[in-house]
């Protein structure tokens, strides 16, 4: 089964063709980073307008690069939640029109489920159950993945997502948006014990997280140094920040895997590209004899291949919709779409 997949939840327009859930035939991604960089973050109106301009052309390119014609497409999968509502609506409306014109099913996909599915594309042997940490600019959750479409949240951030925190720390340090890669480069060679940064705990919720205090601590350190005319150890602060984020994420995820008795730990999302976090997970899994799965960098960020992969499993579960399908700015990963 060949699925044309569309992803437009934030500032990447993406289209892909995936065969039987595990084989990428094409994977086109058009980033808008340069458009939003001057504003220090994503501007929803600009994102939506850009998606409108390119989505049709990109979908056509994905079909062509897969070596197919439109008549070879068996279904259309699309991200319907969560994300910027205007951006989502562009992708959903295009996908509805495409499915209707081709006479094929429409498959609604949860964006974070798609990030988890990126690992199925990278590792053909990977199957549920496992615990997955989903970390991106908009989401930070620990998920019990019992099956391909059977999931529940074990823990989540109470405020900022990890990726959002990286962006805000980068901004105060004068680094460009998005902040993940610049922060990582700045941290190279820095002392990760240079600054004592907070690691928040939520009473009664061992797997939940909070990053607002960490963000505020970095802001205060930078501003205090400036006010006192003191030299700031920027590499040390970036390295200390990455260590604090990793120390918040890794132990909780490992504890969740121990509780469930799973031998597999999965990490997904844009922040999964961070070198420090990947290294700490590798060390933790090696120490506990667990198998670690982290997608290659090309599948960490938003892309449509992951949506096509998850779309396959949603299709097998009977989660097929039609022209009445809507988009949703927020939706938990364990919620089901109202199929129309």
pLDDT, tens digit, 9 for 90 and up, residues 264-315: 999 999 999 999 999 999 999 999 999 999 999 999 999 999 999 999 999 9
pTM: 0.95
> In the chain, which ranges are continuous DSSP H helix?
33-37, 44-65, 85-102, 111-122, 162-172, 180-187, 212-228, 234-260, 275-288, 305-316
Q: How far apart are the C-alpha atoms of 52 and 311, rounded to whole Å?
A: 22
- Write down the pLDDT at residue 261: 98
DSSP bridge partners of 108: 78
In whole angstroms, give the CA distance from residue 83 to residue 89.
10
Assigned token pair, 148:
């391909």
Q: What angle do CA 205, 283, 154 make, to 5 degrees?
A: 20
Question: How many C-beta neighbours within 10 Å does residue 34 have?
Answer: 7
Structure tokens at 219: 């802001």
Angstrom distance (rounded) from CA 98 to CA 275 = 39
What are the backbone angles phi and psi of residue 30, rounded to the nearest 5°?
Answer: -115, 110
Other Cβ atoms less than 10 A from the Cβ of 20: the count is 11
Q: Could you please state the CATH topology (level 3) that the domain comprising 2-115+300-316 is classified under.
A: Nucleotidyltransferase; domain 5 (3.30.420)
Q: Where are the chain's structural domains? A: 2-115+300-316, 128-297
Domains 2-115+300-316 and 128-297 share a fold: yes
Which residue bears the tokens 């940490």?
Answer: 133
- Given the candidates 3.40.50.1370, 3.40.50.300, 3.30.420.40, 3.90.1170.40, the CATH classification of the domain at 128-297 is 3.30.420.40
pLDDT of 336 reads: 81
Q: Give me the residues of the chain with pLDDT under 50, please.
A: none
CB–CB of 308/3 below 8 Å? yes
Q: Which of 141, 161, 139, 135 is nearest to 153 (CA)?
A: 141
């Amino acid at each position: 089964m060949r699925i044309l997949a569309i992803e437009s939840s934030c500032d990447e327009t993406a289209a892909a063709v995936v065969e039987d859930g595990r084989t990428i035939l094409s994977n086109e991604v058009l980033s808008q980073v340069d458009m939003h960089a001057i504003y220090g973050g994503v501007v929803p109106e600009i994102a939506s307008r850009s998606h409108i301009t390119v989505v049709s052309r990109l979908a056509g390119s994905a079909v062509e690069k897969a070596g197919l014609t439109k008549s070879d497409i068996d279904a259309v999968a699309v991200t319907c939640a969560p994300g910027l509502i205007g951006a989502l609506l562009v992708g959903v409306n295009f996908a509805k029109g495409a499915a209707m014109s081709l006479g094929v099913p429409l498959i609604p996909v949860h964006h974070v489920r798609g990030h988890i599915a990126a690992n199925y594309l990278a590792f053909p042997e990977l199957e549920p159950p496992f615990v997955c940490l989903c970390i991106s600019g908009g989401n930070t959750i620990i998920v019990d993945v019992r099956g391909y479409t059977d999931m529940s949240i074990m823990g989540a951030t109470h405020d900022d997502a990890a990726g959002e925190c990286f962006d805000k720390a980068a901004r105060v340090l004068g680094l460009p948006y998005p902040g993940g890669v610049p922060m990582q480069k700045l941290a190279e060679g820095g002392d990760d014990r240079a600054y004592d940064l907070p690691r928040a705990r939520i009473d009664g919720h061992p797997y939940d997280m909070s990053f607002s205090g960490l963000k505020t601590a970095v802001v205060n350190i930078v501003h205090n140094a400036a006010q006192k005319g003191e030299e700031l150890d920027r590499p040390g602060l970036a390295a200390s920040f990455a260590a604090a984020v990793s120390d918040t994420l890794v132990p909780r995820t490992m504890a969740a895997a121990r509780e469930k008795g799973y031998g597999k730990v999965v990490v997904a999302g844009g922040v999964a590209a961070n070198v420090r976090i990947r290294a700490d997970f590798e060390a933790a899994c090696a120490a506990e004899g667990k198998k670690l799965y982290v997608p290659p960098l090309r599948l960490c960020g938003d892309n449509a291949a992951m949506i096509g992969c998850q779309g396959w499993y949603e299709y097998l579960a009977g989660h097929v919709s039609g022209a009445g399908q809507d988009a949703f700015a927020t939706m938990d990963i364990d919620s089901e779409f109202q199929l129309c």
